[in-house]
Amino acid sequence: MIQLDVGNVLLKPSQRRQLMARLRRCQKLGSRLGNFLLRITFWRTGRQFELRAAVRDRAGDFGCRVRRADWAEALRDLVRALSQRLHHQCLLQRAA
């Protein structure tokens, strides 16, 4: 399950669809682990966008934080970090 808290950032419906499309891989990896909960928080301070993600699943909890000037770049970096961590957790769970 994915929870989105946009804070003080206004996202258009097309941007929300982009966000969900980019998070599709993370959602698939999380569903393999079980009890997957991803909470993403958007926040804008000046010209910077800050994205924070808190992940809770059967393998453990972790968080990621990214700050960039463009929301799309920040989202791309966040999704990359989340995918790597979730993939690592999947590998660790299979090895155990």
Instruction: Supply the range of the domain harboring residue 40.
Output: 2-95
At 73, which CATH number? Answer: 3.30.160.100
Whole-prediction pTM: 0.90
Count up the domains in the chain and report the number: 1
pLDDT confidence of residue 5: 93
pLDDT digits (tens, 9 = 90+) for 10-58: 889 999 999 999 999 999 999 999 899 999 999 999 999 999 999 999 9
pLDDT confidence of residue 82: 96
pLDDT confidence of residue 96: 72
Q: Which long-range contacts does 42-46 make (Cβ < 8 Å, 24+ apart)?
A: 42/4, 42/5, 42/6, 42/7, 42/9, 42/11, 42/71, 43/7, 43/8, 43/9, 44/7, 44/8, 44/9
